[in-house]
Structure 1
Amino acid sequence: MYREWAPDPAIAGRVICLWTSTATSSVTELVVPDGSVDLIWAPEGPQVAGPDTGPKPVRMVPGDRYLGIRFRPGAVGETFGVPLEALRDLRVPLVELGVLPELTAENMQEALAVRLRTTSGPDPAAPAIAAALRTGRSVREVAWELGLSERQLHRRSLQAFGYGPKMLQRVIRFQRALRLARRGKPLAEVAVDSGYADQAHLANEVRRLAGVPMGQLVNRP
């Protein structure tokens, strides 16, 4: 069983939601790239789920419970004390990062709020970078629009999101396609509306990023 709820106002500017997932049977949950980073209290303890570039299956057995805080894309800043790209595609125990030693499953929001107040925040250009890439324009065009060189755009994208602008654009496009497909739109229309060349391009990209066909993602409970 999975549910989400709004964060406390103290962290709402940097956090999308809190969430919990509890297994009532043996199941493998599939986590797909969404541009976010999560602080998670897992059965084995607190960990950070870095920005993903591919599917991450999570095996759960009855009674397993995960409690998470999901950051807004580009909003992590220096929360975890390491460059975000160092966490890419990883699940890192919090103890290895040496931050938030006072964290418990009960005080996650309060402890995070303190950490956010005492560390450098995110790049203020991060939302503009994501918004510009969402339009489907090329990296060169986006860099020019934002008054950056392509090298500067790449560096700032790595710092803010954990991967470069081309990967970020792929994730944004994939997530848009997934939202449209879940609303019942035909996949041929999803492909066009999301910026793919055609339905085959959409299918291939979904396979690369999620490891399964779009239909399987849409039909997940």
Structure 2
Amino acid sequence: MVFYTPFPAPADLSGDVVLGWTTRLGGGTHRLVPDGCVDVLWLDNGSVLVCGPETTAWTFALPSGTEAVGVRFRPGRAATALGLDVPEARDRRVLLEDVLGSRVQRHVAEQVGAVADARSRLRVLYGHVRGWLEDAAEADRVGETVAGLLGHDLATPVAELAREAGLSERQLHRRCTAVFGYGPATLRRILRLQRFLRLARRPGAPADLAYLACAAGYVDQPHLSRDCRAIAGVSPRQLLVGR
């Protein structure tokens, strides 16, 4: 059993942060599916990690009862907030000290660990995020444009994304890779699978995969199945019933 609780981001952070979360893990192996985001998380063993953007699902196992809190940056925002080399962090989990230095790692670990409950730990972590954002450089407008267009319509062709950004497709790919960790086509595939998961997990959602596939923006159910196996490593039905 995993006791995972998401919380809406505070209003002043909502432009950069999707949500905060707390969790207590049960035993066994857990699967995380790419979502285009970067997380900063504190573990009760004193570690503070930056989880880079993923291109495929990854599995992990931690001792039963492990507690963690985390902040999830919106796609493209960690590059600015953390000064993160996003392509270098792609498909990797790195210590915060490798991104912001050992002093920052130590302060975050000590201050988050010094409070007694998960919600308080999350508030402390939010405080550090505010500090990082205050010192951050201006966000890349291209990343904001692409994320905004795909958030509105996942069917937007890459050529149209490039036109809206005022770039060639090659230039767009390079700028998106610097911001998201990969190009716009990969981001679109990941966001589309996440849309399928949101639709399928809503209370009262239909069990018809063909319907859900079309509602999520896939051409048909086989299209969903191919993308799901490529990104999540399992079939859509296995993904929905797994942990």
Q: Is the Cα contact below 8 Å between 2:82 and 2:136 reproduced in 1?
A: no
Q: Matches of 1:147 and 1:98 in 2, distance apart?
A: 33
Deviations 1:32-91 (A, max 9, x none): 010110001124400100001001112132221121100111222333333211110100
Q: Secondary structure at the match of 1:60?
A: coil
Partner of 2:196: 177
- The letter for the 1-side match of 2:237 is G
Q: Matches of 1:116 and 1:79 in 2, distance apart?
A: 5
Indicate the percent of aligned positions where both proteins have the same amino acid.
36
Residue 76 and residue 194 in structure 1: after superposition, are their counterparts in 2 closer, same or farther (change >3 A)? same
Q: Does 1:124 align with 2:141?
A: yes
- Supply the RMSD in Å over aligned alpha carbons: 2.0
Deviations 1:90-143 (A, max 9, x none): 000112223434213243111221111012142234232124344313212321
TM superposition shift of 1:6 = 2.5
Q: Matches of 1:8 and 1:188 in 2, distance apart?
A: 37
Q: Is the Cα contact below 8 Å between 1:77 and 1:121 reproduced in 2?
A: no
Partner of 1:18: 20
TM superposition shift of 1:203 = 0.8
Partner of 2:170: 151
Residue 40 and residue 165 in structure 1: after superposition, are their counterparts in 2 closer, same or farther (change >3 A)? same
Q: Matches of 2:240 and 2:88 in 1, distance apart?
A: 31
TM superposition shift of 1:29 = 1.6
Partner of 2:118: none
Runs of 4+ in 1 over 6 A off after TM superposition: none
Q: Matches of 1:116 and 1:132 in 2, distance apart?
A: 24
Which stretch shows the higher mean deviation, 84-93 or 172-181? 172-181
Q: Does 1:217 align with 2:218?
A: no
Partner of 1:30: 31
What TM-score, normalized to structure 2?
0.82
- The letter for the 2-side match of 1:27 is G
TM superposition shift of 1:11 = 2.6
Q: Secondary structure at the match of 2:213?
A: helix
Across the two proteins, how many residue pairs are aligned to each other? 220
Gaps of 5+ in 1: none
TM superposition shift of 1:147 = 2.4
Q: Matches of 2:210 and 2:192 in 1, distance apart?
A: 15
Q: Is the Cα contact below 8 Å between 1:76 and 1:122 reproduced in 2?
A: no
Residue 64 and residue 165 in structure 1: after superposition, are their counterparts in 2 closer, same or farther (change >3 A)? same
Q: Secondary structure at the match of 1:203?
A: helix
Q: Matches of 2:130 and 2:55 in 1, distance apart?
A: 28
- The letter for the 2-side match of 1:129 is V
More helix by share: 2
Q: Secondary structure at the match of 1:33?
A: coil
- The letter for the 1-side match of 2:232 is A
Which stretch shows the higher mean deviation, 203-212 or 186-195? 186-195
Which stretch shows the higher mean deviation, 120-129 or 202-211? 120-129
Q: Does 1:205 align with 2:222?
A: no
Q: Is the Cα contact below 8 Å between 1:55 and 1:209 reproduced in 2?
A: yes
Residue 192 and residue 87 in structure 1: after superposition, are their counterparts in 2 closer, same or farther (change >3 A)? same
Residue 135 and residue 12 in structure 1: after superposition, are their counterparts in 2 closer, same or farther (change >3 A)? closer
Q: Is the Cα contact below 8 Å between 2:78 and 2:84 reproduced in 1?
A: no
Q: Secondary structure at the match of 1:206?
A: helix
Q: Is the Cα contact below 8 Å between 2:82 and 2:132 reproduced in 1?
A: no
Q: Is the Cα contact below 8 Å between 1:122 and 1:160 reproduced in 2?
A: no
